[in-house]
Structures are given as C-alpha cells and as structure tokens.
Amino acid sequence: MGCYALHQIDITDARMNSILLYYIIGVNVITFMVYGIDKLKARKGKWRISEYTLLLLAIAGGSIGAWCGMKVWHHKTMHKKFRYGIPLIIAMQIGLCLYIYYNVRVAPY
C-alpha cells in the first residue's frame, strides 16, 4: 500500500484577504442593484424578484448592499422581515467576522 501525499493549496493570507474582499464588494454591489431592479419592477407592475432571493443575497454576504438598497430605493422598508431581518443579518455577519478574526488561526506553511 502506498502513501499518498495530500497537496494543499498554497494561498497566502494576503491573497485570501484579496479574494474575500473582492467577493464581499461584488456581492454587495449585485445585491444593491437587484434591490433597485426589484423596486423599478414594482413601480411598473412587472414580474418581481422573490423576497427569498433578496434575503438570500443578504445572507450570502450582501447584507450591506441590501441595507443600502432599502435606504436608497426606499424598498422593502415597511416589511418586518426586511426592516428587522437585514440589520440582524448584518449583526450576525459582523459577529461571525469578529469570532473568526479572534479565534481562528491559519497554520503557517
């Protein structure tokens, strides 16, 4: 029986931080635009983007974009699941980031 070495992906902390930063910026810009598109569709009486999709984008990291979209487009501001849900998602994501920052250490290569 042979011994197989597992190859690890060598990603530096700086590169991982860059990837994460680009992801967060991208998902927030997309979420902000989707909220604006949904508001425009609501005004024109057209087919809408589901609330599930809007909340899923926030959970996927676009919570700041969702909150900004709510404020700028005045969209979903009266719906309790958005008015209270989006700030709750933001708080949970901040808490998760703080937990990871203070408790998870990347092993040096």
Domains of the chain, by residue range, sit at 14-103
Residue 86, C-beta contacts closer than 8 angstroms, at least 6 positions apart:
58, 63, 66, 67, 70
Average pLDDT over residues 60-85: 95
Residue 102 has pLDDT above 90, yes or no: no
pTM of the model: 0.81
CA distance 87 to 68: 11
The SS3 of residue 30 is: helix
* Residue 42: other Cβ atoms inside 10 A: 14
The DSSP code for 78 is S
First to last CA, the chain: 28
pLDDT for the residue numbered 3: 47
Position 18 confidence tier, pLDDT thresholds 50, 70, 90: confident
**Angle CA 15–55–16, to nearest 5:** 5
Residue 40, C-beta contacts closer than 8 angstroms, at least 6 positions apart:
none
